[in-house]
Structure 1
Amino acid sequence: MTRSGILLVSVLAGTGAIAGVADIAQGVALPEAPGKQQILDSCTRCHGVDVIVAQPRSPDEWGEVVGTMIGQGAAFTDEAFETVMAYLSTNLAPRAASPD
């Protein structure tokens, strides 16, 4: 997320208008797979799907991102955390380069 995007989210959160942030990136969709609904329920409370899919990450990188989100107030049960991590690591990880 860009610095201005973080500022926008911070301002919206402070005004109570954060509920609309998830709708900003209409047309961006998450892959269909187990855990998608948990992502939508948990992660889009503060940002749109576009932020989630913008940059594929390795499982370790997703762990850092989710850890940061928890540090900023996201709440996950152990089961929800495992579901979110499995979804992100499986569906939003960098694709291996195909052989030439």
Structure 2
Amino acid sequence: MSSIHTSARPGALLSQHPMTEGAGLAWRQADHDVFVATNEGEFAGFVTVDRNAHVVHDSHSRRIGSYPTLAAARQALVDATRPPSRRRERLRRRILSRRR
């Protein structure tokens, strides 16, 4: 990951170079307030800077949440794109079967 300091303040230091993150997401800065993520070349989502918040959207432009830092926002997208664990998937199926 590139060393970069970004905050929601106007005039914050922004990188023009690609930034990389774990979990296969590659990050690029599309504008001074927009960061776009791809996963193996496919669009994975984006982060917009809105005053004091970093707003995360998934690959379908659905809002995931708002975070105080770019690092937290990027991690939220990494977590949202991570496939569910077997344990979590079994729990989900068990809960859904009880609702029937």
Greater Cα radius of gyration, structure 1 or 2:
2
**Fold match by TM threshold 0.5:** no
TM superposition score normalised by structure 1: 0.26
As a proportion of its length, which structure holds more helix?
A: 1
The alignment's TM-score, normalised by the length of structure 2, stands at: 0.26
Structure number with the bigger relative contact order (C-alpha 8 A, sep ≥ 6) is 1
User: If each structure's strand is expressed as a fraction of its own residues, which one has the higher value?
Assistant: 2
